[in-house]
Amino acid sequence: MESLTERGAATQRRILDAAAEQLIETGDIEVAAVARRAGLSVGLPYRYFGTRSGLMTALLADFYDRLLDKTVLSPFAGHTWLERWRAQLTRWIDWVYDEPLAPIVLGRMVGDAQVAAMEARCARQVIALGAKHVAAGQAEGIITRGRDAELMSAAVVGGMRSVLAIVLDQDPRPDRAAVLQEIWEFSTGALGMTQGDTP
């Protein structure tokens, strides 16, 4: 893919931001409305993203890139795996609570086959990164050795996503600390730890 100029990257960002705003407000994306919101010609979103589906998949990929950058790929303080996992869960919950797109992407976003394929690709990426984290816990002796790290990661990621999809749509939303505790107990149980093992 040809790299964008600084101006092109700024225009692409402008379109993505306008698409996110429209999706948050209306629950859908209409390319002409996105262009109007961004103050651009109707043809520019097509130039950068090809189709409505292309724009939606780019928005989805951008959401996950930002999520992973702030959560899974960030360093976390802690002397033990459990301390780092608790810090990561806290950051994850804070990020999705504060991100306006999270309720839609994690619970209500619909699209065609191209959008579904991107969602599946993003989910696999999260699971693959989670598997590395699980393997690190196994290496420290915190998580049961001999179990498949990728399968355990898939179970935890899937469970977390389901919980967050529900709580983000509740009004009022549950207290973050209560959600953190629920996900903490679920994830440590799924990974083979007893509450006596956890801090």
- Mean pLDDT to the nearest integer, 123-141: 95
- Whole-angstrom Cα distance, residue 13 to residue 10? 5
pLDDT at 3: 66
> Which pLDDT value is given to residue 27?
87
The pLDDT tens digits of the residues spanning 27-61 come to 889 999 999 999 999 999 999 999 999 999 999 99
Q: What is the pLDDT of residue 67?
A: 95
What pLDDT is recorded for position 159? 96
- Specify the pLDDT at position 53: 94
Instruction: Please give the structure tokens belonging to residue 17.
Output: 């931001």
What is the distance between the alpha carbons of residues 65 and 80, in angstroms, rounded to a whole number? 26
Summarize pLDDT for 64-97 with one digit per residue, the tens.
999 999 998 999 989 999 999 999 999 999 999 9
Which structure tokens are listed for 116? 């579904």
